[in-house]
Amino acid sequence: MTRFKLLILIVLLMPFACRQKEKNNKEKFFPVVSFIQSQVAAIDTSLYSIKKITSVDSLKADTVYIPREQFRDAASDFLSIPDLASPKYDTRYTEEKMFDETMNRVMLTYTPLKPEKEEIQRQEVLIKPDPSGDKITNIIVNRIVNTKDSLVQKRLLWKVDESFQVITTKQLKGQPETTSTVKVIWNESE
């Protein structure tokens, strides 16, 4: 009789064990936040001149050089995005992998299953295939923060080892929409 009970217990627990194994074998999303943190750390110890260009509503741009100590603050929009590589996002986002022949890039695209509930509306990682080692070239993030009295949309572009750009569109209740662009360059190729 005890063998019978053991057999029933094994049969009952098998689906849970299989489900757990499936979940552990699932590929993780690309760790965008960790990757950008490593880029910021590299710039913290570099000797690059860091240029920041700011414009509001496409008016005259203001250009200043910023010290390395201020770079992390300038990159805060990237460092504060939700980390989709975290397990809590596994069931909330989908990943699509695609190769674009015209650009010669592999594109990893992350989109939410329920866009109205998520801050990150789209995240893309572009990778240039190379026999000596693939290279991440760009990270693109579309982020929306909706509050009671405002809607803020941020379009973020990180050009690996070169620059980043943040376009912020704000719509405050009863106010006209404003758009600001911040571009930070430390090693942009001409």
Whether residue 5 is contained in a domain is answered as no
Give the tokens for residue 167. 């376009």
Question: By residue range, what is the domain housing residue 44?
Answer: 27-185
Whether residue 151 is contained in a domain is answered as yes
Give the tokens for residue 99. 């190769």
pLDDT at residue 92 is higher than 70: yes
pTM, two decimals, is 0.81
pLDDT of residue 190: 55
Q: Give the total number of structural domains in the chain.
A: 1
Whether residue 75 is contained in a domain is answered as yes
14-18, 128-132, 173-177: which has the minimum mean pLDDT?
Answer: 14-18
CB atoms within 10 A of CB 158: 25
- Whether 30 contacts 52, CB under 8 Å: no
Whether residue 62 is contained in a domain is answered as yes
pLDDT of residue 2: 55
Give CB contacts under 8 A, 24+ apart, made by 135-142. Answer: 135/160, 136/35, 136/160, 137/105, 139/32, 139/35, 139/36, 141/32, 141/78, 141/81
Give the tokens for residue 93. 């986002």
Cα–Cα distance, 178 to 15 (Å, whole number): 54
Give the tokens for residue 153. 């949309």
Whether residue 171 is contained in a domain is answered as yes
Whether residue 190 is contained in a domain is answered as no
Whether residue 10 is contained in a domain is answered as no
- Whether 72 contacts 79, CB under 8 Å: yes
- Whether 51 contacts 184, CB under 8 Å: yes
**Closest by Cα among 153, 158, 183, 157 to 168:** 153
Cα–Cα distance, 141 to 166 (Å, whole number): 10
pLDDT, tens digit (0-9, with 9 covering 90-100), for 40-86: 999 988 889 999 999 998 778 899 999 999 999 999 999 999 999 99
Whether residue 14 is contained in a domain is answered as no
pLDDT of residue 27: 66
- Whether 93 contacts 84, CB under 8 Å: yes
pLDDT at residue 21 is higher than 90: no
